[in-house]
Amino acid sequence: AQKVTQAQTEISVVEKEDVTLDCVYETRDTTYYLFWYKQPPSGELVFLIRRNSFDEQNEISGRYSWNFQKSTSSFNFTITASQVVDSAVYFCALSEPYFTGANNLFFGTGTRLTVIP
């Protein structure tokens, strides 16, 4: 079965510290997509990144970086030099479109990040 595990329920860091959010997944297919979403206190879901299973290159976008490792079924998210605006709940999600025939997302339970000024 598909499964997404975000073992860290809550994390608190002091501003300017680096922080890594963990995501481990289980999938039923060899072709799949992984996502990260941010949910700030206002409640909307903000798309951060999508990665397909054939692209294991790490990605960096400003202070954000992602480490995709198929060998350990992990897709971890690092925020460098954290800021108060990074305080949010972060969700990792999995999509298996060729297995399910649809763009359904299966979400982890989320990690609440609090950045203390």
**Interface ranges with another protein (CB under 8 A):** 4, 9, 33, 35, 43-45, 47, 50, 52, 91, 93, 95, 97-98, 101-110
Nearest CB to another protein, comparing residues 13 and 105: 105
Residues 6+ apart with CB under 8 A from 80: 18, 63, 64, 65
Nearest CB to another protein, comparing residues 43 and 117: 43
3 state SS for 57-74: CCEEECCEEEEEEHHHCE
Q: What CA–CA distance (Å, rounded) separates 101 from 86?
A: 34
Q: How far is the CB of 16 from another protein (least distance, A)?
A: 29
Q: How far is the CB of 15 from another protein (least distance, A)?
A: 26
